[in-house]
Amino acid sequence: MALTLWYLGLGLLLNNAWILLLVLPLLFLMDRWVIPREERHLEVKFGAEYLCYKAAVRRWL
């Protein structure tokens, strides 16, 4: 979420429509590629403790 806000802020600050248009592909990439890889890594590293945490907390805070 912080990366998304940073990206939107940069686009607005620079008055750059391309940056603003690329936010959606960035979110898609994060949701489909980055987050699943990180979740697999955390499952291996922390096991059941992470799975309990994952069940209690939303993916996008």
Domain spans of the chain, in order of start: 2-56
- Whole-prediction pTM: 0.70
Q: Is 47 left (phi over 0), alpha (psi -120 to 50) or beta?
A: left
Q: Report CA dihedral (26, 5, 13, 25) to the nearest 10 degrees.
A: 10
pLDDT at 1 over 90: no
Q: Is 8 left (phi over 0), alpha (psi -120 to 50) or beta?
A: alpha
For residues 32-52, average pLDDT: 96
Six-digit token string for 46: 């922390």
For residues 26-39, average pLDDT: 92
More confident residue, 31 or 3: 31
Q: Is 58 left (phi over 0), alpha (psi -120 to 50) or beta?
A: beta
